[in-house]
Amino acid sequence: MQEVRLIEIKEEVLADNGRMAGELRERLTGEGCLLLNIMASPGAGKTSLILRTLEGLKHDFRLGVLEADIDSMVDSEKIAALEVPVVQLRTGGFCHLDAAMVARGLDYLNTKQLDLIIIENVGNLVCPAEFDTGAHRKVMILSVPEGDDKPLKYPLMFTVSDVLVLNKTDYLQAAGFDLEALRRRVLRLNPDIRIFEVSCRTGEGIKEWIGWVAGQLAGTV
């Protein structure tokens, strides 16, 4: 019987992506441009948080956005209405962005003339956690209606993220959400993660979140 060769495709793909992501991050650091990767489930509030962030920072910093979606330009149009440079990445079925996709999008933004670029990753709590996009910081959003058990179901996302934004806090009482249980579960996975409680609808906690982003840009956080 002829020997069957086994090739670990996933490991090879992730290794290649990791090298490209590192090169991209080094390049952006040299240009003085901060790259944030925003990840969350569909409907958690990625676009709403990005819009709030842009509104809070656009008068003090030069901003750009990479919007990823399987097949839509709806969110890009909202960003463009704020007069912020935006590039739409239509993944055509891919459930995540990787470093090569991000690099392609950045070709259409003048990174040397921007202070901050925000990536809105594809709505998904699984694949985006596995692929390094070259971002300097990884931010995940969990919305209150999703429940406090998500760290148990998607531990990798909470482990690799630098920041957790708990959105839709105006639903806390109605949803029966156990905030202390969420904190325990998240910090058990990732003791260094920063947690912000916000409501993009009411504006609660947005000032603190924007202050953190501004601190990252200033190199003070």
Note the pLDDT tens digit of each residue in 29-42. Answer: 999 999 999 999 99
pLDDT on residue 176: 86
Name which residue leads in pLDDT, 11 or 105. Answer: 105
1 by Cβ neighbours in 10 Å (0-12 / 13-18 / 19+) ranks as: exposed
User: What φ, ψ does residue 116 adopt, rounded to 5°?
Assistant: -145, 130
Question: What's the DSSP call for residue 171?
Answer: G
Q: Is residue 10 part of a domain?
A: no
pLDDT digits (tens, 9 = 90+) for 111-151: 999 999 999 999 999 999 999 999 999 999 999 999 999 99
Taking 90 as the threshold, does the pLDDT of residue 71 lie above it? no
Domain membership of residue 3 (yes or no) is: no
Please say whether the dihedral angle defined by the alpha carbons of residues 81, 86, 92 and 95, taken in this order, is positive or negative: negative
Placement of tokens 């991000």 in the chain: 102
Residue at 148 is within a domain: yes
What domain count does the chain have? 1
Task: Quickly list H helices, 58-143.
Answer: 74-80, 99-106, 127-130
Which pLDDT does position 188 carry in this prediction? Answer: 98
CA 16 vs CA 10, 12, 55: distances in Å: 10, 6, 36
Structure tokens at 43: 């409907």
pLDDT of residue 16: 87
Residue listed under structure tokens 């070709």: 107
7 part of a folded domain: no
Could you report the per-residue pLDDT of 164-176, keeping only the tens digit for each? 999 999 999 877 8
Does the residue 5 lie in any domain?
no
Residue 90 pLDDT: 79
Closest CA to 24 of 108, 124, 134: 134
Please give the C-alpha separations between residue 74 and each of 77, 159, 178, 193, 204, in angstroms, as whole numbers.
5, 30, 33, 31, 25
Asked, for residue 9, whether it belongs to a domain, the answer is: no
Report if residue 2 sits inside a domain: no
Beta-strand ranges (E) seen in 1-157 are 34-40, 63-69, 86-90, 116-120, 137-143
The boundaries of the domain holding residue 76 are 15-218
Whole-number average pLDDT of the chain: 90
Number of residues that make up the chain: 221
C-alpha distances in Å from residue 190, one per residue of 152, 162, 194? 13, 9, 9
Looking at the predicted structure, is the pLDDT value of residue 9 above 90?
A: no
* pLDDT for 201 beyond 70: yes
Q: What CATH code is carried by the domain that includes residue 164?
A: 3.40.50.300
